[in-house]
Chains A and B, each alone.
Chain A
């Protein structure tokens, strides 16, 4: 079953190498070749979304379960839509307090859902490593849709795809990640993906949110956004949670915004073709001003589109290989 046959339009370039993973748990586990392969596959799926009939039969008869232990309408919707475009059946399971508070464990819940025939579990959980735990206890494919502050691989991939499409390459670029790196799964997936593909990563924010130990992941650390802006090809502005201020990690949202908020003045300090990314949802006026969010450098809506393509690619690559059942088409 080739992607060309599925999309039935222009055949995509054959990928350089395959991806043999059973799960997508994080970008740390993937090689440079595997990441490019997923991005190539995503690009070919991006084309599907621009057709009038936005659906291919790739995953007909497969069941994708969204197992969300933490709210995220955007990510869940993106996965649901991606699965539907591949003709899979999609079921949402939002585990609120109700089931787990009755003493059922996370693993029990997943095993029950697997027993209902799930081929792929898309897991969002507040505990780092929760999808890894499931991968040891269930047979179906697992996609990590965000595990605490650990990883958010599809977000990392969609950021990579957005950069690659806009800049034509990733190798040799300098990318700044700004904000609460310490608690950010998006930051970690970006760090792994970008450094593996040859970009330089600079992490920027106050020291309480950007610990020195991050240098161990192969990044440069900076506390002054103004100083590093002239060096940046891409800036990825991460969301700041007011909870961190309540924990005393920075004095006030206003002070944060003053030193780390992206505004027009800061954009003008960067090279003219600065690409600005922000994983939603953003706090307008805090991490970035509205004119910057909606301005010519912003790729925020591109990211949403690419997110769909990346999730289609990952679901296709994972769901297509559960060979317990024959392919339905």
Chain B
């Protein structure tokens, strides 16, 4: 058995209530366990994690990998490499590719490409409807057979209430969650940014917060009458957060995720007409940002996700109303979360790691991920929380560069990412093969 000893790091594993300085042992592609009890003589690889956080590999339930169809923006291989550079060892990729991920074969293609890339784990999220057209249910059961871990038409909402109702009902037999991009499409036609004082100032088409609120309210009610599992993607408005809070109180099976840009940036950023601030749902107001943070603090929002949405420079370098929505998210997930949530004291590292490990693993039904329980998958993220660095889009491993955070001076970065017991990302210096002089 090939073993890895991760020495002296602060191990945070919220799945077992662990937060202690100890050694973590991995054997082949499994977790052996935490502490001396699991010591295996001399390890084949020793990683000196002193002063760093050792977390179960982070999981991002919301990324766009663009393959097939838009390989100039990203491929499964480049997206999975970008994930590792950001400390994310597992991603769930959205089905809005060309063609859409709406068949068993399409799901299997994603799984196969990810295996070939040998970077982060990639799980496909199947489309809810055939061709993501919103008319008929896709073959959800066969998608699961092909490896799909959840369903969404993301990129667009499931607009039809009756289709959404059926999806929530039908997916119950598969025990898979329906993820929804919540937006009433008729209210966002021509929208470029949040509707309000800023869109008025700039003369840009607005997307009202109510477009999201109304859909969230509708879908929570549909989840209630069907007993299905509903997950609200990239929640962005104060009222939506309130609705999820109310829904949970009533015992409805609803979860929600928040993206770093929605708790760090407001729509005032669009005053520069920079397309790096154009996303969907759009950047909202300071009140919405405060409500999203409050929702994260009180547990209403249980997950963090990036909505990693890469676009090639020639597409983003268009007039603002013609540029596509979305930003590269994976490689800035940790530092922007530190900046927006940990440094201001809203959340602790334990909270954040729970939102990026146990909670997403539970959402997607990944029993061997997001935990250091003995026997779990040997996926580990080692985080350097102290060394300051500057975000440089030119150094992204993603094929795209569209970030609003270029030039930000930040702290918090994945130093090492291990997938299936293999060190697949490392900033260097702390990983030592047996026989090398390891630092004592």
Interface residues on A, range: 20 to 34
Within 8 A of A (CB), among B278-330: 314, 317-322
**Nearest CB on B from A70, distance (A):** 12
Contact A188 B318 (CB under 8 A): no
Chain A hits for B320, CB < 8 A: 127-130, 133
User: What is the bound-complex CA distance between A86 and B320, given in angstroms?
Assistant: 34
Contact B317 A217 (CB under 8 A): no
Of A132, A183, A185, A216, the contact of B197 (CB 8 Å cutoff): A216
Asked whether A149 is an interface residue with its Cβ less than 8 Å from the other chain, the reply is yes
Within 8 A of B (CB), among A82-137: 105-107, 125, 127-130, 132-133
Asked whether A151 is an interface residue with its Cβ less than 8 Å from the other chain, the reply is yes
Contact A214 B200 (CB under 8 A): yes
Chain B hits for A105, CB < 8 A: 314, 317-318
**Nearest CB on B from A291, distance (A):** 33
Contact B197 A213 (CB under 8 A): yes
Contact B319 A130 (CB under 8 A): yes
Contact B318 A132 (CB under 8 A): no
Within 8 A of A (CB), among B175-217: 195-197, 199-204
Contact B322 A127 (CB under 8 A): yes
Q: Quick one: given A150-B203, A151-B203, are A128 and B321 in contact (CB under 8 Å)?
A: yes
**Nearest CB on B from A171, distance (A):** 23
Asked whether A148 is an interface residue with its Cβ less than 8 Å from the other chain, the reply is yes
Closest A-chain residue to B272, C-beta based? A132
Chain A hits for B201, CB < 8 A: 28, 188, 216-217
Closest A-chain residue to B196, C-beta based? A213
Asked whether B273 is an interface residue with its Cβ less than 8 Å from the other chain, the reply is yes
User: What is the bound-complex CA distance between A187 and B155, given in angstroms?
Assistant: 34
Closest B-chain residue to A103, C-beta based? B314
Q: Quick one: given A105-B314, A128-B273, are A133 and B200 in contact (CB under 8 Å)?
A: no
Q: How many residues of B contact A (CB 8 A)?
A: 18
Contact B202 A128 (CB under 8 A): yes
Contact B200 A211 (CB under 8 A): yes
User: What is the bound-complex CA distance between A130 and B273, given in angstroms?
Assistant: 8
User: What is the bound-complex CA distance between A217 and B198, given in angstroms?
Assistant: 10
User: What is the bound-complex CA distance between A182 and B196, given in angstroms?
Assistant: 12
Contact A129 B200 (CB under 8 A): no
Contact B273 A129 (CB under 8 A): yes
Chain B hits for A185, CB < 8 A: 203
Contact B273 A133 (CB under 8 A): yes
Contact string against B for A residues 15-30, beta-carbon threshold 8 Å, 1 for contact and 0 otherwise: 0000000000000100
Contact string against B for A residues 148-164, beta-carbon threshold 8 Å, 1 for contact and 0 otherwise: 11110000000000000
**Nearest CB on B from A254, distance (A):** 26
User: What is the bound-complex CA distance between A214 and B203, given in angstroms?
Assistant: 11
Chain A hits for B195, CB < 8 A: 213
Closest A-chain residue to B321, C-beta based? A127
Within 8 A of B (CB), among A145-199: 147-151, 182-183, 185, 188
Contact B196 A127 (CB under 8 A): no
Within 8 A of A (CB), among B239-273: 272-273
Closest B-chain residue to A212, C-beta based? B200
Closest A-chain residue to B190, C-beta based? A247
Closest B-chain residue to A214, C-beta based? B200
Chain B hits for A217, CB < 8 A: 197, 200-201
Contact A127 B319 (CB under 8 A): yes
Contact A106 B318 (CB under 8 A): yes
User: What is the bound-complex CA distance between A188 and B197, given in angstroms?
Assistant: 13
Chain A hits for B203, CB < 8 A: 128, 147-151, 183, 185, 188
Chain A hits for B319, CB < 8 A: 106, 125, 127, 129-130, 133
Within 8 A of B (CB), among A213-245: 213-214, 216-217
Chain B hits for A214, CB < 8 A: 200
Chain B hits for A127, CB < 8 A: 319-322
User: What is the bound-complex CA distance between A28 and B273, given in angstroms?
Assistant: 14
**Nearest CB on B from A195, distance (A):** 12
Chain B hits for A183, CB < 8 A: 203
User: What is the bound-complex CA distance between A173 and B264, given in angstroms?
Assistant: 41
User: What is the bound-complex CA distance between A132 and B271, given in angstroms?
Assistant: 10
Which residues of chain A have a CB within 8 Å of any CB of chain B?
28, 105-107, 125, 127-130, 132-133, 147-151, 182-183, 185, 188, 211, 213-214, 216-217
A-B contacts, 15 of them at CB < 8 A, read: A106-B318, A125-B319, A127-B320, A128-B203, A129-B319, A130-B319, A133-B273, A147-B203, A148-B204, A150-B202, A185-B203, A211-B200, A213-B200, A216-B200, A217-B197
Which residues of chain B have a CB within 8 Å of any CB of chain A?
195-197, 199-204, 272-273, 314, 317-322
Top 6 closest A-B pairs, CB basis? A129-B273, A149-B203, A127-B319, A150-B203, A216-B197, A213-B200
Further contacts, 11 of them, CB under 8 A, given A127-B320, A133-B317, A213-B200 = A105-B318, A128-B320, A129-B202, A148-B204, A149-B204, A150-B204, A211-B200, A213-B195, A213-B196, A213-B197, A213-B199
